[in-house]
Chains A and B, each alone.
Chain A
Amino acid sequence: MAVRIPRVPVREQDPKVRAHNFEEVCLGYNLEEATLEASRCLHCKNPRCVTACPVAIKIPEFIAKVKEGDIAGAAAVIAEDSSLPAVCGRVCPQETQCEGSCVLGVKGEPVAIGKLERFVADHSFTDKPVGTMSPEGANVSSAKKVAVIGSGPAGLACASDLAKWGYDVTIFEALHKAGGVLEYGIPEFRLPKDAVLKREINEVKALGVKIETDVIIGRTVTIDSLMDDEGFEAVFVGTGAGLPKFMGIPGENLNGVFSANEFLTRNNLMKAFREDYLTPIHAGKKCCVVGGGNVAMDAARTALRLGADTSIIYRRTEVELPARKEEVHHAKEEGVDFQMLTNPVEIIGDEKGWVKAIKCIRMELGEPDESGRRSPVPIQGSEFEIPTETVIMALGTAPNPLIVNTTAGLEATRRGGLVADEDGRTTRPGIFAGGDAVTGAATVILAMGAGRKAAKAIDEYLKSK
């Protein structure tokens, strides 16, 4: 019986130091650490980790290559199923997916699959010039044109597959930089923009994918004009879920109340944290973030880094926090205060209309609701105030209705998601959709999985056309 090696810990920036900077928190494995961690994989015959991965990366196969020291080989294995490994290694909720299914996790610690994926990706950036890889076997001049709307995870995954199969793919992005939520939503300290995201997007461009920024489909140009006037034969809608939700409580329009989207976009896309950028941001000396998902953690940790004493307000308990465990752990280490079983009822302003406090009520867990989570119930008479300068609402997001409203034949659900089948076929032939635009806010990897499925359906559709 081989000696069980414990999970190799990953090096991280000291919490006290990183609470004041926007550098990446996790430093990642080096070759030696990665090789050692790779040696822990049992190479199960029926690998549950692969089944649990939304894009079915051949995990034991790439880990075997790492163990042999063949990092380029490992990268090639991952590339068959994922176009954004450096991103996913950093932001996937591994604990509920691959690592959550790892056999080693039953009695001990699962293999650090996410950290290994990240290691492989970071060490395999080819930095190929844009458009240098000609699509396999494609006669490019006669290639059919596909439009991908949105350059987030769903769009990038869909575009990559289609480009690999020889299609002429153009991604249209509404913002001025590509990446969608990876660019505007996820902070630098979790996903470095230039060192990781930009390079990963460049790998997609190297496949021949064109990205046109500053184009809002439904405003600048419609899907119909893309198809009728610009010769696109199929369209993939991967526009995500970008509309912020508010609670509808009194005081939400006071100065100092922001959506997490606004706060994070100012800091991530617009780089407000950097002295040399003009975009202003206001975190105040004390900041309360309402919500318990990854976005809430990102907003809280950003506010903390901007100098605010920060609290998270969440109506359930820590067990129910929907955020990745690692993010909660990191937030705590950095000094974010957690007010659990607490729900805001009103935001109180000063005489000038600025936030001065948030009035909350304590909650207790009642009976489980339809999602199986025990629903929080207010404890009568437990209202109290937390003095604060800013309030950030991180309550989830909904899909933008712009495309549904400007495209005949597309249907949306009551919640605003596009109606689409398992493979991304919408209610209108030739138009496909996937990711948060269909499901409502979910994860990067699920969006990528949906993008890949839709790519397959688009390929079938165009071949049979």
Chain B
Amino acid sequence: MFQILKRQMLTPNICKMVVAAPRIAKSALPGQFLIVLANEEGERIPLTISDYDREEGTVTIVTQLIGASSAAIIAKEEGEFFRDVVGPLGNPSAFVKMDEEALKGQRYIFIAGGLGTAPVYPQAKWLHDRGVAVDVIIGARTKDLLIYTEELGSACDNLYLCTDDGSVGFHGVGTACLEDLVAKGKEYTQAVAIGPMIMMKFATLTCKKLNIPIDVSLNMLMVDGTGMCGACRVTVAGKTKFACVDGPEFNGYDVDFDEAMRRLGQYKAEEAEEKAKYVK
């Protein structure tokens, strides 16, 4: 059992939780994810780690209300327990293994969309703490749906907000914001996009145009997260990869996004049925 020490609604349907998980906190690195099973009857839900504190023995997760299983996670109150939290899973971000010299010359741009903003935080912080140049673009539909603005503000050199409705910051999507920045003379050596699959697809197309290498973090369907089920199959550079053990981050240029989006919808019919039962 894993206790929820803090719980905070960031938007009406995005919830941040700090969970006691000492073993995971001790091993976690930026880019990795974990799996939460709220209750015996729940699903194993993969969530990217949004922060970890080795001393306190805690990990932070951010969940968006989508279906019955995410509802079960969000329904937990402070002091209550998840049945299971397992991880850290997947490989850390590529920069974790790069040596300091190679990192020094890099200029990173993160493009974060919606829920994907939270896992950008440990990555940006990791780089920023080591003196690497980091800019971050956060995008959302409207001002009230932007999350992690304060945290990320202190974990990068320049934070750019953008909203679809122009209620704050750049008026438009994150990729348009990136194009704008580059047009104004910003130069980046590496982009990282985390967010909805469609956003990562367009971020990749934009980066191709701008000639910036890009990594994307694929949030595929999973059961075990350890390479056992193969539900998270994605085609990368023409080869089948398992997002859980080969990823979750891949070179965006190589990812077959259309297939990935299609595979994400594989249980839509069944999920809608469950959601109708549990989310009223």
* Residues of A near any B CB (own CB < 8 A): 174-176, 184, 213-216, 219-221, 242-244, 246, 252-253, 255-256, 258-259, 261-262, 265-266, 269-271, 276-282, 352-353, 400, 402
Contact = CB atoms under 8 A, between A and B. Distances in A.
B27 A221 contact: yes
A280 B267 contact: yes
18 contacts: A175-B86, A175-B224, A215-B86, A221-B23, A244-B228, A244-B230, A252-B240, A253-B233, A255-B263, A255-B265, A255-B266, A259-B230, A261-B230, A265-B229, A270-B223, A280-B270, A353-B259, A402-B226
Contacts of B153: none
Nearest to B265: A255
Interface residues of B, number: 43
Contacts, number: 115
Given A221-B27, A253-B259, A262 B271 contact: no
B53 interface: no
A270 B27 contact: no
Name, among B68, B72, B86, B234, the residue most crowded by chain A CB atoms within 10 Å (CB to CB).
Answer: B86
B42 interface: yes
Nearest to A271: B41
B85 interface: yes
B43 A243 contact: no
A277 B84 contact: no
A337 to B, nearest CB: 25
Given A246-B240, A400-B226, A400-B227, A253 B86 contact: no
Contact of B87 (A175, A219, A276): A219
Contacts of B263: 253, 255
A82 to B, nearest CB: 27
Contacts of B68: 278
B257 to A, nearest CB: 13
Nearest to A277: B41
Given A253-B235, A255-B265, A214 B86 contact: yes
A271 B43 CA distance: 10
Nearest to B261: A353
A265 B23 contact: no
A433 to B, nearest CB: 18
Given A176-B84, A214-B84, A219-B88, A278 B229 contact: no
Contacts of B178: none
B274 A402 contact: no
Contacts of A246: 230, 240
A353 B262 contact: yes
B84 A261 contact: no
Contacts of A255: 262-263, 265-266
A219 B89 contact: yes
B274 A174 contact: no
A266 B223 CA distance: 7
Nearest to A213: B84
A174 B223 contact: no
Nearest to B26: A221
Nearest to B45: A278
Nearest to B86: A214
B201 interface: no
A220 B88 contact: yes
B186 interface: no
B118 interface: no
Interface in B174-226: 223-224, 226
A266 B231 CA distance: 11
Name, among A261, A281, A402, the residue most crowded by chain B CB atoms within 10 Å (CB to CB).
Answer: A261
Contact of A261 (B42, B43, B72, B228): B228
A402 B270 contact: no
Given A220-B23, A244-B228, A259-B230, 18 more contacts: A176-B86, A216-B87, A216-B226, A220-B88, A242-B227, A244-B229, A255-B263, A255-B265, A265-B224, A265-B228, A266-B229, A270-B223, A278-B43, A278-B68, A280-B274, A352-B262, A353-B259, A402-B227
A274 to B, nearest CB: 8
A282 B230 contact: no
Contact of B86 (A216, A269, A277): A216
A256 B265 CA distance: 11
A266 B266 CA distance: 14
Contact of A270 (B43, B83, B85): B43
A266 B271 CA distance: 14
A176 B39 CA distance: 11
A211 B50 CA distance: 29
Contacts of B226: 174, 216, 219, 242, 400, 402
A176 B86 CA distance: 8
B163 interface: no
Contacts of B24: 220
B41 A276 contact: yes
Nearest to A263: B229
B240 A253 contact: yes
B43 A279 contact: yes
A220 B87 contact: yes
A278 B276 CA distance: 12
Interface string B235-254: 10000100001000000000
Contact of B271 (A174, A259, A277, A280): A280
A216 B269 CA distance: 32
Contacts of A262: 223, 229-231
A175 B263 CA distance: 24
Contacts of B271: 280
B44 interface: yes
A193 to B, nearest CB: 12
Contacts of A252: 233, 240
